[in-house]
Chains A and B, each alone.
Chain A
């Protein structure tokens, strides 16, 4: 089954039809998506700002990341579920949207980076010594990728 066929199939499911015809469906799910963004964005920012030498400097980056990990994973889950539901409000509209395609690409890169290289950089920051330039680069790449996901997401509603 191609992705287009999958999106077509989803568009015909009763739940997708229900969401599409509901007045408040999109608005409510979008609001939940935004609340998830506040929590996820906050958690990512605080860890990456710490790597850049800003904010919670008296705790090692690895501890901050460990403390914030439930919030990060929880809000990522909320954003994933609400995001899938948003797509279900109009699968073919999203299939045709270049902003959406860019967002999915950046999201994949951001998640892959966060759970691989970024994670090993975090592990190497187990004390309160100033960050190495490697850690700072990792923080900048992470912030740039997540910012890109957000901007591409905003562009779906604005550029299509």
Chain B
């Protein structure tokens, strides 16, 4: 048996997975929390992306926007991650076989790598372009990738429920 399938079955049969699956309200409630956390995370990330592209808060320093928005984005991420993991555990066996879920995991990996690359490369020199109305090309690419990948992640996440 593939080790990942084994892990998914173990999670699926765990006490918490079983409890969520067998409860009437747990899944839709956790799912609602998951969607609200997405609005917080993606909403704040989009503000940074739109600032880099020169669409929002053009007259504000990029670093000031990033600094203020990051705590909200991290809070959204934490809630989204925990609620998403619980949703996954409750239907881990089904998720393993779901093409939409697999696509979503790949997208999440990419959407997670994007800010790591952004912060360790072009953002290091932010002091030189902090006041620029439009950020340098590399930062704009990161912004477009972020908006595209997050939208695709939401679409893939919604599709999980449609591909059983």
Contact = CB atoms under 8 A, between A and B. Distances in A.
Contacts of B155: 31, 35
A59 interface: yes
Contact of A30 (B38, B151, B158): B158
A65 B156 CA distance: 30
B68 interface: yes
Interface in B105-156: 150-151, 154-155
Given A31-B155, A150-B32, A154-B31, A39 B46 contact: yes
Contacts of B38: 38, 41
B161 to A, nearest CB: 9
If over half of B's interface residues share one DSSP class (helix, strand or loop), that class is named, otherwise mixed; here it is: helix
Nearest to A24: B162
Contacts of B72: 46, 49, 54-55
B158 A57 contact: no
Nearest to B60: A59
B154 A41 contact: no
Contacts of B28: 154-155, 158
B35 interface: yes
B39 A58 contact: no
Contacts of A104: none
A67 B154 contact: no
A34 to B, nearest CB: 5
Question: Chain A: interface residue count, which band?
Answer: 20 to 34
Interface string B44-58: 101100100000110
Interface residues of B, number: 30
Interface string A23-54: 00001001100110111111101100100001
B44 A42 contact: yes
A27 B159 contact: yes
A68 interface: yes
Contacts of B50: 71
A151 interface: yes
Contacts of A30: 158
B56 A38 contact: no
B156 to A, nearest CB: 10
A80 interface: no
Nearest 10 A-B pairs (CB), nearest first?
Answer: A42-B43, A41-B39, A158-B28, A56-B68, A27-B162, A38-B42, A31-B158, A42-B39, A67-B56, A55-B72
Interface of A: 27, 30-31, 34-35, 37-43, 45-46, 49, 54-59, 67-68, 71, 147, 150-151, 154-155, 158
7 contacts: A27-B158, A34-B158, A38-B39, A41-B38, A45-B39, A59-B57, A150-B36
